[in-house]
A and B are shown apart, each in its own frame.
Chain A
């Protein structure tokens, strides 16, 4: 089975600092994978390299959505990466605050639409149909995540948990093959985290996509992920199933520190 996302010797350096160091990483289709590690381990940098926000110093990022042959995407701009089937959310919520909830999701559909400037001005039938369809599709996505009651509300007026869910809905609107979630449970209470847990599983089962998440909430990570990768100081230090990771001495050392250091 070809992995949907694969990185080969991925390295990202900022001056003298190596934030991501020779990481080899794999996500298989329909898998939920978690990337964990202490603060500053390079998790978000890894995300940014994969999604095109940063251009990796060396190494390769390969994606193979829907069983296609793997293609290199490093150096591509974020919008091109999204077009190829990767969608992400952000650690600190980055919604379009002054747009309505529906419009936020409609933006996610951007790459799936074709109408250009002239189409927008003359509104031929094809564009009108397309608009109608995007409104309906976006609404259906909102129904899926349970945000349909906020449809015409400005995104900034939403409660925190709903904003998080809207970010996921917006990413899902791009019809990704792989969804990358950067700390989706940050700032959520246990109840909201549990809802999120169900939502992520639901998305995976319904849309048949892979999910890669960065998360600090271990209960969430352990309950939903099938595979866990652990990074520390930019290096991949362990990988395996949740049970393997729990008992891995390297991981315990990275999180709790080493006795011999003291």
Chain B
């Protein structure tokens, strides 16, 4: 282990001092000078300069300590990470694992009855981002295709329900598959022209696609009622029963829970299937995977279609939950937010994306008191994540297979341990 005292030698302190002076100069205009325009005076807040200096001095030291620690860790490649150790431990203690699972299930089931309607509502939103994140994870995490227009599919789902309900009075449960289906078709339509694109170019085109959908919705008044949106969208029904707001909120919460379970189930199965392996191979190396017999065209279209499928579904639920939608809900920011969920959570990792969504959506809600600093913290978290954990909070670990040590035996036990 590194000795932290090493960072308080004269040489190291000099480095930190330089950084702190640099930060003092940088923040001088905003931290120190305060112009009072009414009395035409300037207030010099020297105290905050000193605070800034001391703060950045220690932060710089800490930063270098953490960075060195990280580099030292990566030298020892076969050292197990905390994540792996937790997983091994859980596998060795099946009883504890079971108890923990039961506790989690109970907590999820009891959550809306123990907390307020507001809590249930934000939890539902977070769960929606879990599904959105898992959907985008198929495109970005498994397929390796950078997609910046994901919110467009979300919009397609939401508007499908809102418009079909407005014009034809179709119910939530009928619109759920229709919304998902339409989004899937949109996904295929987008995939066909971008087949040849990769990386930055793909990002630009998908970004453009997302904006096109939003701008059409904003300006085509006859179709989508423009920026004023569509109001009074009914909440999901339960065999024609009318529900109070509170019951409806809880009901949507459980619909969302079911959706999350359904999504995790499907994505998990896909990930370790022939199709999923083809996606990952495509992400790793397109030319090599094509030479191994994988149809890249088909793979790309299926990732886009399946990714869009989930967004469409969540879109329908979103419209039903908020009962009002307008194009402002489907901006580029939304796509970026979902992408952040995937990247911060851990690309290609289901558990990672679930955690990423919960953290990114719930934290700002609980930290309302600091809402002015939200963007600042968001930026800081992104930078710190990229430096210290580029693989995300919980990075993807490939499935391992066990074989009996006997060489070439045809009846070796095939068993997956995840």
Contact = CB atoms under 8 A, between A and B. Distances in A.
Interface of A: 51, 53, 77-79, 82-83, 87-88, 90, 94-100, 102-103, 106-108, 110-111, 113, 115-117, 119-121, 123, 127, 131-132, 134-136, 139-140, 143, 148, 151-152, 154, 157, 170-171, 174
Contact of A100 (B270, B306, B398): B398
B287 A117 contact: no
A120 B293 contact: no
Contact of B398 (A78, A99, A134): A99
A136 B414 contact: yes
Contacts of B293: 79, 82-83, 108, 110-111, 174
A110 B292 contact: yes
B291 interface: yes
A100 B408 contact: no
B269 A123 contact: yes
A97 to B, nearest CB: 6
A94 B292 CA distance: 11
A172 to B, nearest CB: 11
Nearest to A170: B292
Given A82-B293, A110-B293, A152-B401, A140 B408 contact: yes
A94 B287 contact: yes
Nearest to B270: A120
A107 B289 contact: yes
B296 to A, nearest CB: 7
B287 A121 contact: no
B280 A99 contact: yes
A210 B54 CA distance: 72
B130 interface: no
B281 interface: yes
Nearest to B408: A143
Interface in B329-357: none
A121 B269 contact: yes
B96 to A, nearest CB: 25
B50 interface: no
A101 B394 CA distance: 22
Given A100-B400, A120-B269, A143-B408, 13 more contacts: A51-B291, A78-B287, A78-B290, A87-B291, A88-B291, A96-B284, A99-B280, A115-B275, A117-B306, A121-B269, A127-B273, A136-B412, A170-B292
B273 A79 contact: no
A120 B291 contact: no
Contact of B403 (A107, A117, A139): A139
Contact of B291 (A78, A103, A140): A78
A151 to B, nearest CB: 7
B312 to A, nearest CB: 16
Contacts of B398: 98-100, 103, 152, 154
A74 to B, nearest CB: 16
B222 interface: no
A110 B294 contact: yes
Q: Which 4 A-B pairs have CB atoms at the shortest separation, nearest pair first?
A: A120-B273, A111-B293, A96-B284, A94-B288
Contact of B274 (A100, A120, A136): A120
Nearest to B285: A94
Given A117-B302, A174-B292, A135 B274 contact: no
A178 to B, nearest CB: 13
A110 B278 contact: yes
A94 B282 CA distance: 12
Contact of A136 (B284, B290, B410): B410
19 contacts: A79-B292, A95-B285, A96-B281, A97-B285, A98-B398, A102-B401, A103-B277, A107-B281, A107-B289, A110-B278, A110-B293, A119-B273, A120-B273, A135-B401, A136-B412, A143-B407, A152-B401, A174-B292, A174-B293
Contacts of A121: 266, 269-270
Contacts of B88: none
B77 interface: yes
B290 A96 contact: no
A73 to B, nearest CB: 14
B14 to A, nearest CB: 39
B295 interface: yes
A94 B144 CA distance: 16
Contacts of B284: 95-99
Given A78-B291, A110-B293, A151 B281 contact: no
B274 A113 contact: yes
A134 B285 CA distance: 21
Interface in B353-408: 398-401, 403, 407-408
